[in-house]
Structure formats: C-alpha cells, structure tokens
C-alpha cells in the first residue's frame, strides 16, 4: 500500500495537507478535482451544469481506477469520491486512507464564500446543504478510512506531520 489517500468533505484541508505531505514525503501529489478539471477543460461547476452529476461521478470513478494502479503518490480526493462503492474499493486497495474531518461550522467558515462548486442538494441554503450532505456522507467516509483525523483548529502543517508520523512510508 504505497499511496497515501486523503478523503473528506470540502474545507477539511485535504489540498493544503496534501501539499505539505508532498514536501515531507517527497512524493507527487494528485488532486483528483484538479485533474478532472484539466481533462474536461472546464470547471466542475460548468461540467456538472453541462453533463450532470452522474457524468462527473463516472469521470471520477475512471480516475480512481487509474490512480489505484499507481503507487508512491499522495491522492487528494474530491469530497464526493465516497459516493460510489467502486471508488472506495479502488482507493483502499491502493493505499492508506486518511479521513480529514471537521465540524459543519468549521467547514462553513472555511468555504462559505466558495462559489466554484455546484450545489449538491439544489434549493437548500449553503449551511443546510453542508449539514445534510455531511450527515449522509459521514458513514461512507468512516467505511472507507483507515485513519480519521479531526482538522478543527489544527494547521495543515500539524495535520501533515501527524499523518507523516502514522504513514508506513
């Protein structure tokens, strides 16, 4: 299990922690959302508006399968990667999975102004959406993760150091 996989809701610090870990472990970092945007040639919000969530999840699943065949990488997953069972199996098979989690109020404070992502629930307020989606996804994150790390009030550097100390390099 040579990869290190970061999962969790948006705003839990995955991308920042991934960059820190890349430096600590001297490994390449693959941001799944970034990679999907590059391949699609458009932002996620536009991709979902044009083709729908199922298409986006299909692209994400293909990328998970592709990444599960490599090693010695840090994989920064999109928040919804756990929406498909196949992704869970592929990513657990290829590495150690760390679930970065935070309380809804922390997530809301961190990403409240981000309008680059489409709504996951349609007509709900941003706060209600975060609470509802977290409620649904939390058991899935727990099922996928080997290790859970709370990121409330903790810097990305500190979290990266904790993972570095735990990761069987």
How many CB atoms lie under 10 A from the CB of residue 77?
25
- The tokens of 13 are what? 């610090």
Using a cut of 0.85, tell me whether the model's pTM lies above it: yes
- CA atoms within a 13 Å half-sphere pointing along the CA-CB vector of 15: 12
Identify whether the C-beta of residue 107 lies closer than 8 Å to the C-beta of residue 63: no
Query: Rounded to the nearest 5 degrees, what angle is found at the Cα of 89, between the Cα atoms of 20 and 69?
Result: 65
Domain boundaries of the chain, sorted by first residue: 3-164
Q: What is the pLDDT of residues 16-67, one digit of tens each?
A: 999 999 999 999 999 999 999 999 999 998 999 999 999 999 999 999 999 9
- The Cα–Cα gap between 5 and 71 comes to 11
pLDDT for residue 118: 53
Identify whether the C-beta of residue 35 lies closer than 8 Å to the C-beta of residue 59: no
Helices (H), the chain: 14-25, 32-40, 44-51, 53-67, 85-94, 104-111, 126-144, 156-166
> Is 80 exceeded by the pLDDT of residue 5?
yes
| Mean confidence (pLDDT) of the chain | 90
Percentage of residues of the chain with pLDDT beyond 90: 76
Identify whether the C-beta of residue 146 lies closer than 8 Å to the C-beta of residue 92: yes
What is the CATH number that goes with domain 3-164?
3.40.50.300
- The Cα–Cα gap between 46 and 132 comes to 23
């Amino acid at each position: 299990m040579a990869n290190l996989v970061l999962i969790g809701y948006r705003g839990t610090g995955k991308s920042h922690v991934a960059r820190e870990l890349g430096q600590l472990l001297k490994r390449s970092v693959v941001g799944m959302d970034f990679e999907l945007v590059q391949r699609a040639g458009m932002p996620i919000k536009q991709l979902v508006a044009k083709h729908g969530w199922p298409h986006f999840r299909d692209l994400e699943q293909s990328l998970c399968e592709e990444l599960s065949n490599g090693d010695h990488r840090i994989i920064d997953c999109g928040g919804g990667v756990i929406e498909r069972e196949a992704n869970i199996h592929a990513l657990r098979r290829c590495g150690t999975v760390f679930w970065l989690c935070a309380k809804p109020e922390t997530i809301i404070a961190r990403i409240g102004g981000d309008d680059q992502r489409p709504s996951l629930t349609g007509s709900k307020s941003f706060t209600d959406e975060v609470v509802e989606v977290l409620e649904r996804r939390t058991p899935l994150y727990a099922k996928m993760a080997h290790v859970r790390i709370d990121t409330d009030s903790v810097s990305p550097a500190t979290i990266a150091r904790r993972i570095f100390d735990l990761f069987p390099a």
